[in-house]
Amino acid sequence: MRIDVITIFPPLLAGAFDHSIIKRARDRGIVELHVHDLRDFTDDRHRTVDDYPYGGGAGMVMKPEPWFRAVETLRSQDNPGRTVLLTPQGQRLDQALARRLAREDRLIILCGRYEGVDERVREHLVDEEISIGDYVLSGGEPAAVVLVDALVRLQPGALGSPQSTVEESFSAGLLEYPQYTRPPEFRGWRVPDVLLSGDHGAVERWRRERQIERTRARRPDLLSEDDDVSETTT
């Protein structure tokens, strides 16, 4: 998969894309990431990307021309793919949306500033608007890091062990079970005996129960009818 991100703050993204899973996936050729500076697509001496809002009001609005020039430059290469604008007004990102976008060969991601982007960009350049949650960020850059991470780890071969994705899809829709590592006792707090028992069946049942219990307590909205503890314990 190839992803192009357009931003006025390339360094905010470069760091995040150069570590951990994303870096490894890039090194392995699983994803190709390019970060572009929107100001490189301006044509005035001051490299202006925003202007006052028509009709007045607080804040500035991002001008349409640099966005169109940037995206059209990228699209003139082969297979342009979909163009996504990151904005709090977009569809909320969840794992289903991540899975759908992860299947694209190519994506162009636009990082808008919070105050706004000229409406003609949304209407005539963007295929899809995405938000990462119901809170306000100053700009789309942190959201781009979130989205790219979610897409990269879904690419075949991006994660260390294939088992990771198998387990994720098995537990889809449930929160994770509690994890422990050594030591078996720390400051008097013991690791649950079942995890030290060597009984793999018992461990699996215990984990499933904790997942359901935790999901019921914290995220009841995620629980479906057929995720009943009694089913997995009998």
- CA–CA dist 174, 57 (Å, integer): 44
Residue 87 interacts with ligand 6GU (CB under 6 A): yes or no: yes
Nearer to ligand 6GU, 10 or 215 (CB): 10
Residue 6 interacts with ligand 6GU (CB under 6 A): yes or no: no
6, 31, 71, 137: residue in contact with ligand 6GU (rule CB under 6 A) = 137
- CA–CA dist 19, 15 (Å, integer): 7
**What's the longest Cα–Cα distance across the chain?**
72
Computed from CA positions of residues 100, 103, 107, 111, in that sequence, does the dihedral angle turn out positive or negative? positive
Residue 59 interacts with ligand 6GU (CB under 6 A): yes or no: no
Residue 135 interacts with ligand 6GU (CB under 6 A): yes or no: yes
Q: 106 with 81: CB under 8 angstroms?
A: yes
7, 131, 211, 215: residue in contact with ligand 6GU (rule CB under 6 A) = 131
Q: 80 with 108: CB under 8 angstroms?
A: yes
Residue 120 beta carbon to ligand 6GU: minimum distance, rounded to whole angstroms: 19
Residue 97 beta carbon to ligand 6GU: minimum distance, rounded to whole angstroms: 12
Q: Which stretch binds ligand 6GU (CB under 6 A): 43-51, 62-70, 137-145, 182-190?
A: 137-145
Residue 133 interacts with ligand 6GU (CB under 6 A): yes or no: yes
Residue 81 interacts with ligand 6GU (CB under 6 A): yes or no: no
Q: Which stretch binds ligand 6GU (CB under 6 A): 49-57, 131-139, 156-164, 178-186?
A: 131-139
Q: Which stretch binds ligand 6GU (CB under 6 A): 44-52, 136-144, 152-160, 185-193?
A: 136-144
Residue 139 interacts with ligand 6GU (CB under 6 A): yes or no: yes
52, 57, 114, 173: residue in contact with ligand 6GU (rule CB under 6 A) = 114
Residue 7 interacts with ligand 6GU (CB under 6 A): yes or no: no
Residue 114 beta carbon to ligand 6GU: minimum distance, rounded to whole angstroms: 4
Q: Which residues of the shown chain bind ligand 6GU in the complex (CB under 6 A)?
A: 86-88, 114, 131-133, 135-137, 139-140, 143
